Amino acid sequence: MRILIENICILPMTGRDSVIEKGYLIIEDRMIKELGSGSAAPAEYDRVIDGRKKVVMPGFVNTHTHAAMNLMRGYADDLPLMEWLEQKIWPLEAQLKAEDVYWGSMLAILEMIKSGTTTFNDMYFFMDETARAVEETGIRAVLCRGLIGLGPEAESGLDDSRRLVEKWHCSAEERIKFLLGPHAPYTCPPDYLKLVIALARELNVGIHTHIAETQGEVENIKRQYGKTPVALMEEVGLFELKTIAAHCVHLSSDDIRTIQGQGVGVAHNPESNMKLASGVAPIPELLEAGVAVGLGTDGASSNNNLDMLQEMRSCALLHKVNKMDPTVLPAYQALEMATVNGAKALGLSREIGSLQPGMKADLIMLNLDQAHMQPMHDLMANIVYSAQAADVDTVIINGQLIMENRKILTFDEQQVLDQAEKHARELARRI
């Protein structure tokens, strides 16, 4: 498949001054073949897309989700984290069936595509079903089964993770990658984490985990082990593997140095952290230290959407007001977190996150011909502070047109909406 996008403004995310006001981009098979200013040389193409009054940019990388929790959107709002988990979410999750997870994942993928996400990093249960949804829809994903080291499924979870990696890792034209997913230090004791680390080494995969999400978690880990969650994970050896750590809200200066020194990626989830009143992560300090900080939405039960444009805006505004400094986290840096940094945090920066020849063709087109997007004094500021999910016009992933003119091309949108509603209602009735 050879596609030409012409007459297009290009935001390649290769530097603040790299915007091409009017240019072209050529996709050949799954890759970006060429891009530049002006017009492409005459050639034959399978598709020519007119990009007039639009901008093309890398698709968003959502670095932390629980996709199937879309079925729980609005189910348990306005509660603190542990009460939300222990009294509402975990009892409901105990009733989940595989088919629920499939349709919840399909609903999440539909929402993500329509708001410009082309890659997501997910931890949940029944992960064959999420992988199947990824395979069928054309999106890119990094997946893991959530592992709990306390209880009857500790050992079987490791066996299931091995099976999932062997079945799905690098499948679906390499759109699916698998990691191991120890849930958190408070659910995975050090002895169990050592088993997870050994298996990850054997399978040559990385780690996705939650760390230091709440002050209570940090205090409890300190009481048990005499050190912070980050220091404990370093001592156990988790960070010797490629790790992406979600939240990282309550960090000491030593924790930040450890995260930077060990090359840990961080998934920042500002809206979820605000909604659960978990706190404000030290993102400016992490970025200053050179840590790869990506953006995540968390699950739709604690956000309550998967809109990365909204997450970018919330991120920038949160840290400005938290520091009482309007220069903190400017628009381009927020865009980096949603694209380049997200790819780097996931270990995918050689494949996705920017528009360059030889990179995978994962890109989105935003419609600039909107009242809220004009005038165009600053393209990047308009995207971060003004753009809406409905401005995402076209989505291409791995060189395949997934959405064009806001019409989903690879699956039945209405069927997903109908089935997700049905399964959400049935799930709630099981409690």
DSSP code of residue 238: G
3 state DSSP class of 25: strand
pLDDT score, position 81: 81
Contact 210, 248 (CB under 8 A): no
- CA–CA distance, 237 with 253 (Å, rounded to integer): 20
Is beta strand 392-397 parallel, antiparallel or unpaired with respect to 400-404? Answer: antiparallel
User: What burial class does residue 44 get, using C-beta atoms within 10 Å of its C-beta: 0-12 exposed, 13-18 middle, 19+ buried?
Assistant: exposed
- Using a cut of 0.75, tell me whether the model's pTM lies above it: yes
pLDDT score, position 284: 98
Give pLDDT < 50 ranges for the chain.
Answer: none
Contact 61, 118 (CB under 8 A): yes
pLDDT score, position 79: 87
Residue 328, C-beta contacts closer than 8 angstroms, at least 6 positions apart:
284, 319, 320
- CA–CA distance, 210 with 188 (Å, rounded to integer): 11
Strand partners, 266: 245, 293
pLDDT score, position 330: 98
Q: What is the DSSP string of 104-124?
A: HHHHHHHHHHHTTEEEEEEEE
- CA–CA distance, 281 with 329 (Å, rounded to integer): 13
pLDDT score, position 378: 97
Q: What is the mean pLDDT of the chain?
A: 97
Report which of 156, 200, 148 is spatially closest to residue 179, judged by C-alpha positions. 200
What structural domains does the chain harbor?
2-58+361-408 (2.30.40.10), 60-345 (3.20.20.140)
pLDDT score, position 248: 98
pLDDT score, position 431: 81
pLDDT score, position 85: 87
Is beta strand 2-10 parallel, antiparallel or unpaired with respect to 181-182? Answer: unpaired
Contact 123, 181 (CB under 8 A): yes
pLDDT score, position 127: 98
pLDDT score, position 277: 93
pLDDT score, position 331: 98
- CA–CA distance, 428 with 93 (Å, rounded to integer): 10
pLDDT score, position 416: 98
Here the tokens at position 172 are 């679906």
3-state helix, strand, coil in the chain (%, to 5): 40, 25, 35
